[in-house]
């Protein structure tokens, strides 16, 4: 018999499980607290459930855990974790601690949603390795729980910017977000959760219809179809006019600002004309642009523009009334920056 993973279950699922075990309903709340708040991994730590229930849980359920393989710490404090899953696949996630003034201290975890990625973006290390499988809900939340437990901290912000395309693992990603948001679990505010997508148009519409208070980030990276299709194969299926329609719908439905990620690549998408084209594309969309100097990936020849070009691009956007900022580089020295996750042991 396949054991059911408790970390993939919400309160309702646990209530049904208790019913099937002929246990009182309040047991579900207790179990939820152990699994999603205290995040224990050993059944025998669950001291208030009674032996009879414990025995059944041990026999018929499991708690998905990630096997810690290694951790690398960047000089800026960014930490990359490599884990293995039960089927020996690898995933990575990245912790970005911000240590500003006390009120601003926060731990952001960049989590993976899939093993690998099928979308094949030209500049992304994850995309080069192909797609293996979706992560389960339990494997997604386990990334947060494991980092919390290992490093005795509390992740307060979650960004789906690790390996994989979150909107192609829609149900599990949404379930994990609802679990992380649950006030009896980690109680992470929806506003502190970001989904980043390469632009899966029908799924953006589905997400809009759920009307969650999360942040939606779109990986745009080029302002016209001709350029975008060169680096992002997804653009052939969902070109920019369709993507724009979906973004407009998203803003209309949720009243929330969309973030656009734009990786600046030297002599590809970084001149004044491109900035003008970008402003034109964004016209009418309530948004913010993050400019990310592209991170070097293995042998691929994507180069960062120099500082002067980056600031000229920013200035040009601002001249067109577009709000933008340059994203601070994190963890590039340990290959933990955007697009550098491979999910492999690299010595
Ligand atoms: N698949 C999703 C989320 C994971 S990628 C997506 O593409 O949005 C996280 C972010 O890193 C995306 O914005 C992606 O476009 C960006 N990225 C990938 N490779 C990069 C690179 N070499 N330099 C800078 N950003 C990169
Ligand atoms: Fe996949 Fe995102 Fe990388 Fe593109 S940028 S290959 S969608 S992980």
Mutate to test the pocket of ligand 1, among 235, 339, 340 (most ligand atoms within 8 A of CB): 339
Q: What phi, psi does 89 have (nearest 5°)?
A: -70, 155
What would the pLDDT profile of 184-202 be if each residue is shown by its tens digit? 999 999 999 999 999 999 9
Of 78, 79, 82, nearest in space to 70 by CA = 82
Q: Is the pLDDT of residue 212 over 50?
A: yes
Give the per-residue pLDDT at 342.
82
Share of the chain above pLDDT 70, in %: 96
Task: Answer whether 261 contacts ligand 2 (Cβ < 6 A).
Answer: no
Question: Which atom from ligand 2 is nearest to the alpha carbon of 118?
Answer: 1
Residues 6+ apart with CB under 8 A from 114: 131, 132, 133, 134, 135, 163, 164, 165, 166, 168, 169
165 CA → ligand 1 middle, Å? 10
* Among 15, 92, 165, 261, the one annotated catalytic: 92
261 CA → ligand 1 middle, Å? 8
Question: Which atom from ligand 1 is nearest to the alpha carbon of 217?
Answer: 8
Q: Map 148-159 to HEC letters.
A: HHHHCCCCCEEE
Task: Answer whether 290 contacts ligand 1 (Cβ < 6 A).
Answer: no
What would the pLDDT profile of 74-122 be if each residue is shown by its tens digit? 999 999 999 999 999 999 999 998 766 665 668 999 999 999 999 999 9
Of 60, 150, 166, nearest in space to 111 by CA = 166
Is 329 among the catalytic positions? no
Task: Answer whether 131 contacts ligand 1 (Cβ < 6 A).
Answer: no
3-state secondary structure at position 334: helix
127 CA → ligand 2 middle, Å? 5
124 CA → ligand 2 middle, Å? 6
pLDDT confidence of 51, banded at 50, 70, 90? very high
The partner residues of 259 in beta bridges, in order of sequence, read: 217, 288
Give the per-residue pLDDT at 347.
46
Place of tokens 């599990």: 172
Question: Which atom from ligand 2 is nearest to the alpha carbon of 198?
Answer: 7
Share of the chain above pLDDT 90, in %: 87
Summarize the confidence of residues 227-252 as an average pLDDT.
98
Atom 12, ligand 1: which residue's CA is nearest?
A: 219
Instruction: Name the least confident of 5-9, 27-31, 130-134, 298-302.
Output: 298-302
What would the pLDDT profile of 125-169 be if each residue is shown by its tens digit? 998 889 999 999 999 999 999 999 999 999 999 999 999 999 999
* 274 CB neighbour count, 10 Å cutoff: 19
Atom 4, ligand 2: which residue's CA is nearest?
A: 121
Give the per-residue pLDDT at 102.
60
What average pLDDT does the structure give for the chain? 94
57, 120, 143, 171, 175 from 137: Cα distances, Å: 19, 24, 10, 8, 6
Of 256, 125, 128, 278, nearest in space to 194 by CA = 256
Give me the domains of the chain, ranges plus CATH numbers.
Answer: 4-62 (1.10.150.530), 67-334 (3.20.20.70)
Is 92 among the catalytic positions? yes
Q: Is the pLDDT of residue 346 over 60?
A: no
Task: Answer whether 124 contacts ligand 2 (Cβ < 6 A).
Answer: yes
Give the per-residue pLDDT at 331.
86
Task: Answer whether 64 contacts ligand 2 (Cβ < 6 A).
Answer: no
pTM for this predicted structure: 0.96
Structure-block tokens of residue 51: 């032996």
Asked if residues 83 and 69 have their Cβ atoms less than 8 Å apart, the reply is yes
* Among 121, 124, 198, 338, the one annotated catalytic: 338
What would the pLDDT profile of 265-304 be if each residue is shown by its tens digit? 999 999 999 999 999 999 999 999 999 999 888 766 789 9
Question: Which atom from ligand 1 is nearest to the alpha carbon of 123?
Answer: 22
Of 247, 245, 310, 320, nearest in space to 277 by CA = 320
Task: Answer whether 142 contacts ligand 1 (Cβ < 6 A).
Answer: no
Give the per-residue pLDDT at 336.
85
Give the per-residue pLDDT at 285.
98
If phi > 0 it is left, if psi is from -120 to 50 it is alpha, else beta; for residue 33 that is alpha
């Amino acid at each position: 018999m396949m054991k059911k993973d408790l970390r993939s279950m919400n309160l309702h699922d646990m209530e049904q499980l208790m019913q099937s075990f002929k246990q009182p309903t309040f047991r579900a709340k207790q179990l939820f607290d152990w699994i999603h708040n205290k995040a224990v991994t050993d059944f025998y730590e669950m001291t208030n459930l009674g032996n009879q229930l414990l025995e059944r849980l041990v026999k018929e359920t499991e708690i998905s855990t990630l096997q810690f393989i290694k951790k690398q710490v960047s000089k800026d404090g960014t930490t990359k974790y490599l884990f293995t899953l039960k089927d020996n696949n690898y995933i990575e996630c990245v912790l970005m601690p911000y240590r500003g003034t006390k009120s601003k201290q926060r731990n952001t975890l960049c989590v993976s949603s899939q093993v690998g990625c099928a979308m094949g973006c030209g500049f992304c290390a994850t995309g080069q390795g192909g797609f293996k499988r979706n992560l389960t809900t339990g494997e997604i939340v386990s990334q947060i729980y494991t980092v919390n437990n290992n490093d005795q901290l509390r992740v307060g912000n979650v960004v789906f910017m690790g390996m994989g395309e979150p909107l192609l693992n829609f149900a599990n990603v949404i379930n994990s977000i609802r679990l992380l948001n649950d006030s009896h679990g980690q109680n992470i505010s929806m506003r502190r959760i970001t989904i980043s997508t390469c632009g899966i148009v029908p799924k953006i519409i589905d997400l809009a219809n759920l009307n969650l208070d999360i942040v939606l980030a779109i990986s745009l990276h080029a302002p016209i179809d001709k350029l975008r299709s060169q680096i992002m194969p997804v653009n052939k299926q969902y070109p920019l006019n369709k993507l724009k329609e979906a973004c407009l719908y998203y803003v209309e439905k949720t009243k929330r600002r969309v973030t656009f990620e734009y990786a600046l690549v030297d002599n590809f998408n970084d001149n004044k004309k491109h900035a003008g084209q970008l402003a034109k594309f964004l016209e009418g969309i309530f948004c913010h642009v993050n400019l990310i100097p592209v991170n070097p990936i293995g042998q691929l020849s994507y180069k960062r523009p120099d500082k002067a070009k980056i600031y000229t691009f920013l200035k040009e956007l601002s001249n067109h009334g577009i709000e933008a900022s340059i994203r601070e580089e994190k963890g590039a020295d340990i290959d933990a920056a955007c697009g550098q996750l491979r999910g492999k042991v690299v010595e």
